[in-house]
């Protein structure tokens, strides 16, 4: 068994698909079912005795500052969050990576998944009956992940917390250091780097039921989980749009981020439907980077 040294919560990203709420605050700071997402995770970690919690920030980093005072977390700024994928957040927290949980600030765990000691490095997963576009996992005879495919059918797929042993952390950081300055690495998720080195990076699968772990990619998905967001999302933008149209937030649905030719979000803009019409919202008032 490996005694858990700490947890690293990744909270640097812009979560552009979660428009328009993410235009005003990081997704991890949204209150779901009465609790702020990242605060709920911090409390769950502390419940099992994990006191060293590192939060890697970037986008709207100042909004996380209260966590240091109220929960005693360590804040690390990833100043590359806008130009690199989440491998840069792993690199920013490299001095803390030992027997470590790696968490996403926007996950919601219905029950506490954390433990004070863990047997092996693992990635949590839930099962998809039928097709899913998520990252699907296959394992070898020893239970180690030996194949990851983006999209699959009737398969376990990555979702939720990850645990790295000291050995896994050291090996991953050696690989990341060697590849960090390669142009191709810039846009990779850390999971993509893991995928490319399955022969040396050994990790199990920790299986959970579908009602154990939730991640909300869009406001519509969150509304299904927490219906209070149908009538009032807490977003100033949503309030202003509803008032302009003479309607309610509940009438706005199908929110979709407008993307540019490169596939990235095209500024702070989104499409939505209200009654039988589709609208486009654009603003130049906000600055992401």
Q: Which residues pair with 270 in a beta bridge?
A: 257, 281
Strands (E), the chain: 2-3, 6-11, 31-32, 35-36, 53-57, 74-77, 100-104, 107-109, 117-118, 122-139, 145-164, 204-208, 213-215, 252-259, 265-274, 277-283
What confidence score (pLDDT) does residue 267 get? 63
What confidence score (pLDDT) does residue 164 get? 98
Same domain? For 13 and 107 the reply is: yes
Same domain? For 224 and 171 the reply is: no
Helices (H), 20-151: 37-47, 66-71, 87-92
pLDDT digits (tens), the chain, 289 positions: 999 999 999 999 999 888 889 999 999 999 999 999 999 999 999 999 999 999 999 999 999 999 999 999 999 999 999 999 999 999 999 999 999 999 999 999 999 999 999 999 999 999 999 999 999 999 999 999 999 999 999 999 999 999 999 999 999 999 999 999 999 999 999 999 999 999 999 999 999 999 999 999 999 999 999 999 999 998 999 998 889 888 899 999 888 888 766 656 556 788 888 877 888 888 754 333 3
Same domain? For 49 and 146 the reply is: yes
Token output for 176: 């990341």
Same domain? For 110 and 237 the reply is: no
What confidence score (pLDDT) does residue 265 get? 59
The boundaries of the domain holding residue 133 are 2-215
What confidence score (pLDDT) does residue 285 get? 46
Rounded Cα distance, 208 and 203, in Å: 16
What confidence score (pLDDT) does residue 288 get? 37
Question: Considering the chain, what is the average pLDDT of its residues?
Answer: 92
What confidence score (pLDDT) does residue 277 get? 84
Tokens 């700071």 found at: 29
How many domains, in total, are found in the chain? 2
Token output for 252: 């706005």
In a domain, 289, yes or no: no
In a domain, 174, yes or no: yes
In a domain, 288, yes or no: no
Rounded Cα distance, 64 and 79, in Å: 15
Rounded Cα distance, 137 and 155, in Å: 7
What confidence score (pLDDT) does residue 261 get? 67
Q: Which residues pair with 53 in a beta bridge?
A: 7
Question: Structure pTM?
Answer: 0.92
Pairing of strands 35-36, 122-139: unpaired
Q: Write the CA distances from 193 to 148, 207, 258, 285, integer angstroms.
A: 11, 22, 28, 36
Rounded Cα distance, 32 and 227, in Å: 10
Same domain? For 180 and 226 the reply is: no
Same domain? For 67 and 17 the reply is: yes
Last residue of a domain, one of 165, 193, 215: 215
Same domain? For 205 and 117 the reply is: yes
């Amino acid at each position: 068994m490996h005694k858990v040294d700490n947890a690293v919560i990744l909270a640097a990203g812009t979560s552009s698909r979660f428009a328009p709420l993410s235009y005003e605050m990081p997704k991890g700071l949204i209150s779901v079912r009465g609790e702020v997402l990242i605060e709920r995770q911090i409390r769950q970690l502390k419940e099992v005795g994990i006191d060293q919690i590192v939060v890697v920030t970037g986008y709207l980093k100042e909004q996380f500052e209260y966590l240091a005072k109220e929960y005693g977390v360590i804040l690390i700024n990833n100043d590359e969050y806008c130009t690199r994928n989440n491998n840069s957040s792993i690199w920013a927290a490299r001095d803390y990576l030992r027997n470590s949980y790696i968490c996403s600030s926007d996950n919601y765990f219905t029950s506490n998944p954390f433990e004070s000691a863990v047997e092996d490095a693992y990635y949590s997963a839930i099962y998809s009956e039928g097709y899913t576009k998520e990252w699907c996992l296959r394992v070898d005879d020893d239970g180690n992940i030996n194949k990851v495919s983006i999209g699959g059918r009737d398969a376990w797929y990555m979702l939720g917390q990850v645990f790295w042993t000291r050995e896994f952390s050291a090996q991953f950081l050696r690989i990341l250091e060697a590849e960090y300055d390669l142009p191709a690495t810039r846009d990779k998720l850390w999971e993509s780097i893991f995928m490319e080195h399955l022969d040396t990076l050994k990790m199990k699968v920790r299986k959970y039921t579908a009602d154990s772990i939730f991640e909300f990619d869009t406001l519509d998905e969150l509304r299904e989980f927490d219906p209070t967001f149908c009538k009032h999302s807490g977003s100033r933008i949503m309030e202003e749009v509803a008032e302009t149209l003479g309607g309610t937030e509940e009438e706005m649905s199908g929110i979709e981020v407008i993307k540019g030719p490169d596939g990235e979000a095209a500024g702070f803009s989104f499409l939505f439907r209200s009654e039988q019409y589709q609208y486009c919202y654009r603003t130049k008032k906000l600055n992401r980077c």
